[in-house]
Amino acid sequence: MNEATYQTAAAAVRDPDNAHQWRSYMALVRSFFLKDVRIRYAGSLMGFFWTVVHPLLELVTYTFVFTVIIGVSFDEGYSTGTNALFLFCGMIPWLSVSESMNRCTSAFRDNAPLIKKLRFPPSVLCTYIVLVEGFNQVVRFALLAAAALLISHGLSWHLALILPVMMLQLLYAQGLGMLLATTQVFFRDIKHLLAPALMIWMFITPIFYPESLFPPKFSPVLMLNPLSHLVSIYRELILNHQLPPWGSVVIFATSAALTFVLGAFTFHRHSHEFPDLV
């Protein structure tokens, strides 16, 4: 889209016709999404590197450290290969959510000229970022599925349930993204605080170790961590070929809905101030 097209689409988003407004909004999201994916993948080895090869290098490192050196095993009888699959299955949703948060946090300030001049809906920026990271997650899941067919017990019909879980995950990431992006407009230090916060969050989520190793006295931390439930759900569906505990599903679904409502409320309450502050 060129600037004139953006202006037309942005004006249409403010059209009182709700159907026309929704179509125009999605047209903007689609345009940003396709541009981002095209830049990352089309004719670029670096896009493939950051999406697939880089996580695989991290996986090899974490597998060596936690499985070979420390000797962590997710279950009795698991080999190094199956342990690696469990690690990767936890890393994939974490990468998607954390990258969504990182990119959304600075999205409004990074696109200040767009917001100032065109007055288009800033939430488009968070929406397309979350969708792009969701697309990258699908690419990684495809790699995980291929590996599961080769070195594990294959796949089952439970794989079909990944889609609704991913929808909840994207809703959760969208809420976090809008909340962080809005907060960053008013408090610039949020971007600098996010990195250490994500590091702590990553290590209190059972990605690199089984839940059974989490200290019992800190079990409330595990229970209240939405991503611990999300990781568990994906592992049950993809690797264990069984339905996840309903408690985990209910807790994560509730967390996703509440986070989205909080993020959307915060965004809509302050969005009219963005052109003057970014």
Mean pLDDT of 180-203: 93
How does residue 29 score in pLDDT terms, banded at 50, 70 and 90?
A: very high
pLDDT given at position 172? 98
3-state secondary structure of 239: coil
Backbone phi and psi for residue 210, each to the nearest 5 degrees, phi listed first = -75, 155
Say which range, 9-13, 52-56, 217-221, has the weakest mean pLDDT.
9-13
pLDDT given at position 228? 96
Inform me whether the pLDDT recorded for 17 exceeds 80: no
Highest average pLDDT, of 30-34, 44-48, 184-188, 258-262, comes from: 258-262
Distance of CA 16 to the CA centre of its chain: 32
Alpha helices in the chain (DSSP H): 3-13, 18-41, 45-48, 54-62, 80-105, 107-110, 112-118, 123-151, 162-186, 190-203, 219-224, 226-238, 246-270, 274-277
Share of the chain above pLDDT 90, in %: 49
How does residue 256 score in pLDDT terms, banded at 50, 70 and 90?
A: very high
